[in-house]
Amino acid sequence: MSLLSRALPALRLYCIGLAVALHQLLRRLRPGGPPAPVFPTQNGNVAIVTGGAKGIGYHTVKHLARLGMHVILASIVTKQLPNTGNDESEGQEAVRKIKEETVNGKVEFLHCDLASMKSIRQFVQQFRAKNCPLHVLVNNAGVMLVPERKTEDGFEEHFGLNYLGHFLLTNLLLETLKQSGTRSRNARVITVSSATHYVGRLHLNDLQSRCSYSPHGAYAQSKLALVLFTYRLQHLMTADGSHVTANVVDPGVVNTELYKNVCWATKVVKWMTAWLFFKTPEEGASTSIYAAVSPELEGVGGIYLYNEQRTKSTDVSYDEELQRRLWTESCKMTRISDVGSRDL
């Protein structure tokens, strides 16, 4: 593969990132702006947030807890990510701080390695043992631009952790979500993608990027896969008559630790401009929180949200045949039954 072909995924990624950052700057400079939304209390509701120990996930957990939710923080505790700080002590420290700041004692940490199918299944078993409902699942965790490496199960890490881990987790929790949702208050699945999905290419014949690995291409593919998955999930839930909605959110360009794997020049530019162009993690969490609790979205599913607004995702994400094929292939990879094959 030529040098230009290898560089194209990175170029596309940086162009879309720059466009989003400029949009965020213009939005900030606009006088006034809408007031921060006020959401109803969520006492008695239960949520799971992956990657909740830091960044966007941390602020998502904190806000949901402030609304009275019982929140389970499922951090990325994985051997695949050395020196990330995503260990159990960090998760427990996040829980302590959130409890202290929100005066909500119903915040807890459970170990979950999204790069391990075994760990995901163990997490779900632990959750089920609590015999509690599940009203909100926020698939937030992820990695970005990591060097080529595999998960415990042999999957390319972006695809395996960002996408397949959440695909399996959601499917294993689906029955609990169905039982928890009601006609007047649906259970909600919120999946965090990003604007990089617009430049993503889904290679169904090479989902593991074995032919030619590009961290930029692999990351963008994983984010596109999450959008396709969300739309397919909503189709299945509607066909099944289940009181569960699935939506996908785009947090924007956010100043988090995800950028630690970018090249040194990009790190310098980020260090110099993040205060102006980037959202804070708290600002980045706003759309996830909106999708999780806003009354405006009651019973509404299958939409892409950016800045709390419905937005059109990339054209290919609406390809129902591609959604179905990805779902079927994902079921094979995670070794679960394909409910979609029965064309509910």
Locate the DSSP E strands across 93-182: 107-112, 136-139
Beta-carbon contacts of residue 342 (< 8 Å; ≥ 6 apart): none
Catalytic residue among 219, 290, 304, 306: 219
219 is catalytic: yes
CA distance 16 to 111: 34
CA distance 134 to 139: 13
CA distance 195 to 83: 27
SS3 state at 110: strand
Among 174, 162, 138, 164, residue whose Cα is nearest residue 248: 138
CB 289 within 8 A of CB 230: no
SS3 state at 279: strand
Place of tokens 């059109």: 312
CA distance 78 to 146: 14
CA distance 189 to 202: 22
SS3 state at 229: helix
- Residue 121: both structure tokens together: 């299944």
The CA-atom distances, in angstroms, between 2 and each of 7, 146, 215, 288, 295 are 9, 21, 16, 39, 51
CA distance 40 to 114: 31
- Residue 47: both structure tokens together: 């949520």
φ/ψ of residue 213, rounded to 5 = -90, 130
User: Which residues are annotated as catalytic?
Assistant: 219
